[in-house]
Amino acid sequence: MTAKNYLWILYAITATIFITIGVQVYWNYTNYQLNRQRVSNEIQLSLDNALEEYYAEIAKSDFLTIIKPDKTTDVGSDISEEISKLSNVFTKANKLKSIAISSINFERSANHDVDSVLLSVKEELNKTLLSDNKKTLDSIIGFSQLTTKDSGIHIEKGKQLKAVQVLKGKKAFDSLKVLKSLNTIMISMDRDTLEYSQVDSLLKIQFKQKNISPSYRIKHFKKDTLYYTLNPELKGDDLMSVTSKSTYLKAKERIFLEFENPLQEALKLSFNGIFISMILTLAIIFCLYYLLQIIKQQKQLAEVKNDLISNITHEFRTPISTIGVALESLKNFNALDDKVKTQNYLNISNDQLAKLNVMVEKLLETATLDSENLELNKERTNISELIKLLVEKHNLHKNQKPIQFLSTKEFIEAIVDAFHIENAINNIIDNAIKYGGEKIVINLEQNSFATTISVSDTGSSLKKISKEKIFEKFYRVPKGNTHDVKGFGIGLYYTKKIIEKHGGIIHLNLDDKLTTFKICFPNE
């Protein structure tokens, strides 16, 4: 895969992620707006229901019935004359189209707040207006003696008329329907004011039933003039409002309910949609990111494969070419007649074959490391002597960087696989020689728990970006020309695997003037 194709895939995946997020944000915002409107509608319905229930309750209680017993009713001779006088009154009242009462003052009694028959008439009705067609008459009711007038009914003050009974409430009136021979005057009262505390209680009940709890205030307007405000402490310029649609409200009378933006309630309703949307979005992003990582890894593997093939070709071609030249010399230049030359050519060929064998062994060992087939032959080994021999071998080479070995003890032993540990340490030394600075120092330490080997050099060519990748299989630090330093990029990978199979760790420390590989494995 070319870099251009990879970039196009990256752009496509990025665009898909942003489009997915944008669609989900738009969908959730639209859903939130719908749920906010839904909450507003619920508040509107709650206000209307509360007012309907309030007016229904007061309609039941603000209802009076005046009863005149039938002539056959046994009420006693002392009031028989008053009963006779009531006949014309009730006959006249039953023909009236309406009875309007401007105000009623009730005395406190045990029967005040219940639907019942008031046997003792102590209530006082003030400024009662009885209308017949267009004729009106102001009258005062003291429940004394009832007399008729041409245009209505006039009730004069006097002694109490015991034969008249007053029923308070619609329930009490309905209970009289089963009785016959009763003459009644029914008075239904209309209030000019609201019991705001009662409306507030009914409204809270409605909110509780709908599982919403907005902060609100109620404004009552009469003829475009603010008459009363409930919960005036609620402030804000961005308050939402609904208007009651109750049919009980009079003309030019309006009730507004203002409330704060129902963010919490709307989010509650939108929670399931938002949660599912987030899960879906995260799943899509994760899958696309995982796909991108797979593509990236495949691209890196392809690059590593090509680099490995190029390096193997280069590394194998050199010894093969050298052996070919030696054999050609023996064949064409009569080198066989000269035993010294023959021996030199044979030594060169043998050295190159040994190099080929080492490279093949490294490749095979690397393949073995990825499986569980590699078995370590652990035995007690003198680590000090092992490292000392490695240092001496490298120092014997001409034009070799000097290596210094420091140990806290002359004799340090550990139970390890000597062959693999030697190769692991040698790979680090070889890496320091190829890529490190001019001075290399090896430190060996041991305590009661672990053995630590540090290989430091004064080089600073390694960057932090290579710190973690340097232990990956076939990874080589980019240096422009792939073949300026020999190697397959498997040495440090091999070292890391061997140390881990010994139960240890390897770590790379970088600073401005020193590069240090530190190996630590437990004492068994």
Residue 335 pLDDT: 61
Integer Cα distance of 413 and 421 in angstroms: 13
Residue 260 pLDDT: 85
Integer Cα distance of 190 and 29 in angstroms: 47
Is 471 inside any structural domain?
Answer: yes
Is 171 inside any structural domain?
Answer: yes
Last-in-domain residue among 188, 215, 232? 188
b/e map of 394-429 (b: 16 or more CB within 10 Å)? beeeeeebebebebeeeebebebbbebbbbbbbbbb
Structural domains of the chain, count = 2
pLDDT tens string 323-373: 888 888 777 776 667 778 788 888 888 888 887 887 787 777 666 676 666
Is 69 inside any structural domain?
Answer: yes
Integer Cα distance of 5 and 91 in angstroms: 103
Is 402 inside any structural domain?
Answer: yes
> What is the pTM (predicted TM-score) of this model?
0.47
Residue 445 pLDDT: 92
Integer Cα distance of 262 and 79 in angstroms: 66
Rounded to the nearest angstrom, the gap between the alpha carbon of residue 502 and the centroid of all alpha carbons in its chain is 45
DSSP sequence for 277-339: HHHHHHHHHHHHHHHHHHHHHHHHHHHHHHHHHHHHHHHHHHHHHHHHHHHHHHHHS-GGG-H
Integer Cα distance of 500 and 54 in angstroms: 81
487 in the Ramachandran plot: left (φ > 0), alpha (ψ -120 to 50) or beta? Answer: left
* Element containing residue 168 per DSSP (H, E): strand 165-168
Candidates 433, 423, 515, 500; CA nearest to 466 is: 515
Contact between residue 429 and residue 403 where contact means Cβ atoms under 8 Å apart: yes
Tokens (6 digits) for 8: 């196009």
Residue 319 pLDDT: 83
> Residue 505 maps to which CATH number?
3.30.565.10
Last-in-domain residue among 188, 205, 225? 188
Last-in-domain residue among 188, 221, 242? 188
Q: Are strands 403-407 and 153-156 parallel, antiparallel or unpaired?
A: unpaired
Candidates 86, 157, 165, 180; CA nearest to 120 is: 165
Tokens (6 digits) for 71: 């002539």
Q: Which amino acid is at 202?
A: L
Is 38 inside any structural domain?
Answer: no
Is 82 inside any structural domain?
Answer: yes
Residue 406 pLDDT: 92
Contact between residue 218 and residue 230 where contact means Cβ atoms under 8 Å apart: yes
Length reported for the chain: 524
Is 337 inside any structural domain?
Answer: no
Q: Which residues of the chain, if any, have pLDDT below 70?
A: 1, 61-192, 308, 311, 334-336, 365-368, 370-373, 398-399, 476-488
Is 405 inside any structural domain?
Answer: yes
Query: Cα-atom radius of gyration of the chain, to the nearest Å?
Result: 53
b/e map of 144-156 (b: 16 or more CB within 10 Å)? ebbebeeebbbbe
Domain that holds residue 393: 375-522
